[in-house]
Amino acid sequence: MGTLLQDSGLDDGGSGELWNVERPEVIAGIHEAYAEAGARLLTTNTFGGTRPRLDMHGLGDRVHELNRAGAAIATEVARRHGALVAGDLGPTGELLSPLGTMEPDEARALFAEQLTGLADGGIDVVLIETMSDLGEVAAAVEAARQVVPELPVIATLSFDTNLRSMMGVRPADAVTALAELGVDAVGANCGRGPEEMEAIAAQLAQARTDDLLIVAQSNAGLPVLVGDRFAYDAPPDELAAHARALQDLGVDLVGACCGSTPAHIAAMGRALLPAG
């Protein structure tokens, strides 16, 4: 989503979530492109949709509006393509105590506020992603159980610091802790590219429990400066080979993160699904 928003003219530092109401046709077009490429889960344009993140843009009083709109746009597209909508919750940007000042109850309330808007927009799945602190994940999971107890919950961390999260969480630790919280799927997203994601996925799969799904969503390589913009260096055929490797490792939900375009998703789908 972020890659295509930037390609559509979103300035660095701008609020992509504001486009859910100011440029909804652009957001719908992005979802349409991924759906046509074969994506079975469309992720709402709400990664920065918590109050602290929106406050950075002077939009903290519009949490419900922007999240509901983001979910409604994705839902309208998904229904036409037979896809599902994942309501996207990213980190709040605040550190939980004792490293920071935010208490778990406050974090849970922030995610609950966001989820209320997403639920009103019609999401099918809760996606908690790019996390580094298991405490923040737990707060988001608790909020989901409070606001949308009937929906499945996916939780992924970014293990981009020597195969650990920024807070030192290892892939196996995440599987164990989040299985205890009762989430439906655990995994990794973002990171440093396909090769490293495969190493992480192997650890996730090894630690899995019988009924837990494993998720992997790598970046399309690493960003490189091309002119005055950054582009990611893994082409679609590389992510297609990566998708097959993830499948062989036992990953259940295969996707892609930063830098991945509809062309990447289409190539991954062709690699994973039988022709026709």
Domain spans, the chain: 15-120, 152-276
Evaluate whether the domain defined by 152-276 bears CATH number 3.40.50.300: no
Q: How do residues 119-137 score in pLDDT, each as one tens digit?
A: 999 999 999 999 999 999 9
Q: What is the CATH class of 15-120?
A: alpha beta
Domains 15-120 and 152-276 share a fold: yes
49 is in an annotated binding site: no
Q: How do residues 27-36 score in pLDDT, each as one tens digit?
A: 999 999 999 9
**Mean pLDDT score, 219-225:** 90
Q: How do residues 52-89 score in pLDDT, each as one tens digit?
A: 999 999 999 999 999 999 999 999 999 999 999 999 99
Q: How do residues 156-188 score in pLDDT, each as one tens digit?
A: 999 999 999 999 999 999 999 999 999 999 999
257 is in an annotated binding site: yes
pTM for the predicted model, two decimal places:
0.96
Structure tokens at 259: 């830098």
Averaged confidence pLDDT in the chain: 96
How many Cβ atoms sit within 10 Å of the Cβ of residue 175?
Answer: 22
Q: Is the pLDDT confidence value at 240 over 60?
A: yes
41 is in an annotated binding site: no
Query: Are the C-beta atoms of 65 and 73 separated by less than 8 Å?
Result: no
Q: In the prediction, which pLDDT does 275 show?
A: 61
Q: In the prediction, which pLDDT does 250 show?
A: 96
Structure tokens at 63: 């949490």
The torsion angles phi and psi of 58, rounded to 5 degrees, stand at 70, 25
Q: In the prediction, which pLDDT does 276 show?
A: 47
Q: In the prediction, which pLDDT does 274 show?
A: 73
Contacts of 162 (CB under 8 A, 6+ apart): none
